Amino acid sequence: MKTRNLLFAAATLTSFASYGQAAESGYFGLSLGEAEVTDLCESNYDCDDKAMTGRIYGGVQFNGFAGVEFGYRYIDEVSASLYEYDSGWGYSYGAEITGHFVDTTALFSLPETGPVQVVAKAGVMLWLLDYDFEVNSSYYNETISENESGLGLRTGLGARFNLSDSFSLRADWDYLVNAGDDLMDSDIHIFSAGPEIRF
């Protein structure tokens, strides 16, 4: 898993560097927040569909109103479990899911209103979901690990609060569409905030 994470980060940095010479300005940032997996808990007795999430990103601004951004996001563990009782036997089933996302996103900025600038976002993402399944009964216990990956769409809104020419605070709502395939297929809502440095 560590090797895969390093490959994701390297791909993001390489893509960022390829656009650097064409940009008027660049920036990078870090955000932390909460992710909600919307379709995970519809039919489970015990479920936690919210998790901490973090994202590192870098971007380039081509003019005052358009730019492109590249990022890597990690979503910590969400879980679902189910208990059944049948013919005198009790069975419990559980799943724990973590997510990795590499994205390329176009940003469209509204004119600044004082120190605040609002941005709209649309892009694509490569997602990788890791699953740990556990089955328990009085005579049988097993844990199975699987993963799946694919491409999806992302969109959202953000706002920059400019504290100086080179430093901002940024708040974001991100909407990740159809993350997962065979094992989980869900939209993900993310609210996050963090510092951003421009150069």
Per-residue model confidence (pLDDT) at position 20: 44
CA–CA distance, 40 with 49 (Å, rounded to integer): 6
Per-residue model confidence (pLDDT) at position 138: 65
Per-residue model confidence (pLDDT) at position 91: 67
Closest to 160 in 3D by CA, of 75, 50, 59: 59
User: Domain ranges in the chain?
Assistant: 2-76+100-124+154-198
Amino acid at 7: L
pTM for the predicted model, two decimal places:
0.79
Residues 6+ positions from 181 with CB-CB distance below 8 Å: 148, 150
Per-residue model confidence (pLDDT) at position 38: 85
For residue 138, the tally of other CB atoms under 10 A from its CB is: 9
Per-residue model confidence (pLDDT) at position 119: 94
* pLDDT tens track, the chain, 199 positions: 444 544 544 454 444 444 444 557 899 999 999 999 987 776 556 788 899 999 999 999 887 789 999 999 999 998 887 666 666 666 677 888 999 999 999 999 888 778 999 999 999 999 999 998 887 766 667 788 889 999 999 999 999 999 998 999 999 999 999 898 876 788 999 999 999 999 8
Per-residue model confidence (pLDDT) at position 23: 53
Closest to 194 in 3D by CA, of 53, 17, 9: 53
Per-residue model confidence (pLDDT) at position 19: 46
CA–CA distance, 125 with 4 (Å, rounded to integer): 16
Per-residue model confidence (pLDDT) at position 89: 64
Options 2.40.160.20, 2.60.120.620, 2.60.40.3880, 2.30.110.10; CATH of 2-76+100-124+154-198: 2.40.160.20
